[in-house]
Amino acid sequence: MRRTVVLVALAVTSMVALAFLIPLGLMIREMARDQAMSDAERQAVALAPVLATTDDRGLVGKAVASTRAGQLNRLAVHLPGGEVVGTTRVSAAELARAHARAVTVEVPGGAAFVQPIALDGGRTAVVEVFVAEADQVRGVWRSWMVLGAVGLLLVIGSLLVADRLAAQTVRATIRLAEASSALGAGDLAVRVDPSGPPELVAAGRAFNTMADRVRQLLAAEREMAADLSHRLRTPLTALRLNAEALGDDQAAEQTRIAIDRLEREVDLVITSARRAGPREDADCDVAALLRERLEFWSALAEDQQRPWSLRGADGSVIVPVPAAELAASVDAVVGNVFRHTPERTEFVVSLQRNDGVVGVIVEDAGPGVAELSEAVERGRSSAGSTGLGLDIARRVAESTGGRLAVDRSSLGGARVCMWLWQRPAAPRPNRRRDRRRGRPIR
């Protein structure tokens, strides 16, 4: 943009300068020629008193030699008797035409000014003054160089001014673009110092207002999530009391263990929701996490007599996702299998890795998904649920630059593929401080 503004200023200033300098240069050349011809006319008229008093060749020759043009052998006098004093350069036809009025005749090497002078007795003498080409353009080149230098200085000055203005605009635009990228990456503390043209100042203020509003909305959403999660404590407490009264058999113990895990998950939701601002990036071992979560779900799968298997989760596979978020997404997808498929339905969880991309794939032998295109839309479900389970998995996948795909599985049911990039798809912007407040938002 800066280069474009400078080029536009160069084109406009150059055209304006040329529009003025070219006519001015031509006018200066004409003025130099007119000045040379006027000087020749003055020298020709200066001989009129001598010619009016005498037509003696010797006296006229002395008068001619006393002039500057005569000393340079550029002046000639044609006497009435046909005698010529000096060197003539004009043809007889042009000389005859000059008896009526003064004329300028183009001759080799310059131009000749021919001036008729009336004498007594109806006689006419003609004075011829030669003006060389060098005299006609004397001072023109120097004037043109001065005009060119002035025009060049004007163009350079306009380019410097345009560059400064463009630099100010470009800097303000870059700052606004960087702040927008940082806000899109999750840095809610980023703000801009409005500067530049009035339009960019207004855009910067609107960006700061939007960023404040986004932070307020996210804070309200976190508070609502925390409040809703906190409300689960009352039924959980009642459920724990009922579980304590079940006795000491294996089923009661498994129920109490499930309640403990559920309470920890609720506590994690409340803690995560109450944490203001974006969390620091973290990594986790997706293979170990899958083994842990499938061990958790295995008890319920055994109760419902569901065949299941975990494939490819050997060793260690690190992905740039916090363990809590990845566990929530895995639980959401596996939980959908238990909620939306009949008991005894088989499901398989696979872990695949290929060229920096890790795939967490959950397949089942259930009825499948009716509307595949709408399955990952937030709040949309064709099975009567909230529709947020797959959205949780989608957001986790997209946080690494990956994606979530839903299609038919080889088992006949649904196949949910959560593709995670082990390297971020784009560089993450640096954390910025709130420039208006001078401190990071906590």
Q: Which domain holds residue 69?
A: 2-141
pLDDT of residue 361: 92
- pLDDT number for residue 370: 63
Mean pLDDT on 410-436: 65
Q: Residue 359: its pLDDT value, please? A: 92
The reported pLDDT for the residue numbered 273 is 58
The packing angle between helices 323-340 and 389-399, to 10°, is 150
High-pLDDT (> 70) share of the chain, %? 83
The pLDDT assigned to 351 comes to 92
Specify the pLDDT at position 378: 45
Least trusted range by pLDDT, from 257-261, 301-305, 369-373: 369-373
What is the band of 123 on the pLDDT scale with cuts at 50, 70, 90? confident
* Max avg pLDDT among 23-27, 114-118, 365-369, 392-396: 23-27
For residue 438, is pLDDT > 70?
no
Which range is least confidently modeled, 330-339, 344-353, 365-374?
Answer: 365-374
pLDDT at residue 374 in the model: 53
110 lies in some domain? yes
Q: What CATH number does residue 80 fall under?
A: 3.30.450.160
Supply the pLDDT for residue 228: 64
What integer is the mean pLDDT of 274-284? 58
What pLDDT shows up at residue 135?
83
Among 141, 161, 184, identify where a domain stops.
141
- Which one is predicted more confidently, 433 or 176? 176
Whether the predicted pLDDT of 277 surpasses 60: no
pLDDT digits (tens, 9 = 90+) for 374-397: 555 544 444 444 456 677 888 888
Q: Does residue 27 sit within a domain?
A: yes
Give domain status of residue 250, yes or no: no
pLDDT band at 441 (very low <50, low <70, confident <90, very high): very low
Which of these ranges, 85-94, 226-235, 281-290, has the smallest mean pLDDT? 226-235
CATH of the domain at 341: 3.30.565.10
> What confidence score (pLDDT) does residue 206 get?
92
pLDDT at residue 147 above 60?
yes
Confidence band (pLDDT; 50, 70, 90) for 349?
A: very high
Residue 179 lies in a domain: no
pLDDT at 49: 86
Residue with more model confidence, 70 or 156:
156
Minimum mean pLDDT range among 30-39, 83-92, 276-285: 276-285
Q: What's the total number of domains in the chain? A: 2
- Which among 149-158, 251-260, 380-389 has the top mean pLDDT? 149-158
What does the buried/exposed string (b/e) look like for 60-69 if buried means 16 or more CB atoms within 10 Å of the residue's CB? beebbeebeb
Instruction: Specify if 34 maps to a domain.
Output: yes
Query: Could you tell me if residue 158 is inside a domain?
Result: no
**Between these two residues, 224 and 17, which has the higher pLDDT value?**
17
Tell me the per-residue pLDDT of 281-297, one tens digit each, with 9 for 90 and over: 478 899 999 999 888 88
Which of 88, 110, 141 represents a domain boundary (last residue)?
Answer: 141
Split at pLDDT 50, 70, 90, the class of 268 is low
Query: pLDDT for 166-216, tens place per residue?
Result: 888 888 888 888 888 888 877 888 888 888 888 888 988 998 999 888 888
Q: Domain end: 105, 122, 141, which one?
A: 141
Question: Quick check: is 436 in a domain?
Answer: no
* Amino acid 360: pLDDT: 92
In this prediction, residue 429 carries a pLDDT of 43
Confidence of residue 227 (pLDDT cuts 50, 70, 90): low
- Do the beta carbons of residue 363 and residue 410 sit within 8 Å? yes
Q: 208 lies in a domain?
A: no
pLDDT of residue 355: 83
Q: How far apart are CA 8 and CA 169, in angstroms?
A: 15
